[in-house]
Amino acid sequence: MVSNRMENLHPYVPGEQPKDRQYIKLNANENPYPPSPRVIDAVCGAVRAHPEKLGLYPDPDSSSLKAAIAGMLNRTGGVLCRADVDEKGNVSPAAQDRIPFEVTPDMIYCGNGSDEVLSFVFYAFFGSDRELVVPEHTYSFYPVYAGFYQIPLDRVPLKSDWTLDVERMIGDATARDSGTIFANPNAPTGIALSRAEIRDMIRRAPKDRVFVVDEAYVDFGGESSIPLLAEFDNLVIVRTFSKSLCGAGQRLGFIVSSPKLVNYVTTVKNSLNHFPIDFVAQTAGIAACEDAAYYVGCAKKVVSVRESFSAFLRERGWEVIGSRTNFVFVRKNGVRGEETYRAIKERGILVRHFSTPGIEDFLRITIGTAAQMEELKSAMENI
Ligand SMILES: *Cc1c(COP(=O)(O)O)cnc(C)c1O
Kindly list the domain boundaries of the chain, sorted by start residue: 4-34+297-380, 37-293
Cα-atom radius of gyration of the chain, to the nearest Å? 21
Read off the pTM: 0.97
Nearest-angstrom CA–CA distance, 15 and 8: 22
Pair 246, 31: CB distance under 8 Å: yes
- Is any ligand 1 atom within 6 A of the Cβ of residue 240? yes
Question: Peptide bond before 185: cis, by omega within 30 degrees of 0?
Answer: yes
Which pLDDT belongs to residue 276?
84
Which of 134, 181, 242 has the most ligand 1 atoms within 8 A of CB, as the residue to mutate?
242
One-letter amino acid for residue 228 of the chain: L
- Is any ligand 1 atom within 6 A of the Cβ of residue 214? yes
Say how many Å lie between the CA of residue 216 and the centre of ligand 1.
6
Which pLDDT belongs to residue 382?
83
- Is any ligand 1 atom within 6 A of the Cβ of residue 112? no
**Contacts for 120-123: CB closer than 8 Å, 24+ residues apart:** 120/265, 120/268, 120/269, 120/272, 121/210, 121/212, 121/236, 121/238, 121/255, 121/265, 122/146, 122/148, 122/149, 122/151, 123/149, 123/268
CATH for 37-293 is 3.40.640.10
- Is any ligand 1 atom within 6 A of the Cβ of residue 185? no
Which pLDDT belongs to residue 185?
98
CA-wise closest residue to 29 among 374, 368, 370: 368
Question: Peptide bond before 32: cis, by omega within 30 degrees of 0?
Answer: no
Give, for all 383 residues of the chain, the pLDDT tens digit: 888 888 878 888 777 777 777 899 999 999 999 999 999 999 999 999 999 999 999 999 999 999 999 999 999 999 999 999 999 999 999 999 999 999 999 999 999 999 999 999 999 999 999 999 999 999 999 999 999 999 999 999 999 999 999 999 999 999 999 999 999 999 999 999 999 999 999 999 999 999 999 999 999 999 999 999 999 999 999 999 999 999 999 999 999 999 999 999 999 999 998 888 999 999 999 999 999 999 999 999 999 999 999 999 999 999 999 999 999 999 999 999 999 999 999 999 999 999 999 999 999 999 999 999 999 999 999 88
- Is any ligand 1 atom within 6 A of the Cβ of residue 219? no
- Is any ligand 1 atom within 6 A of the Cβ of residue 36? no
Nearest-angstrom CA–CA distance, 144 and 24: 28
CATH for 4-34+297-380 is 3.90.1150.10
CA-wise closest residue to 110 among 207, 250, 315: 250
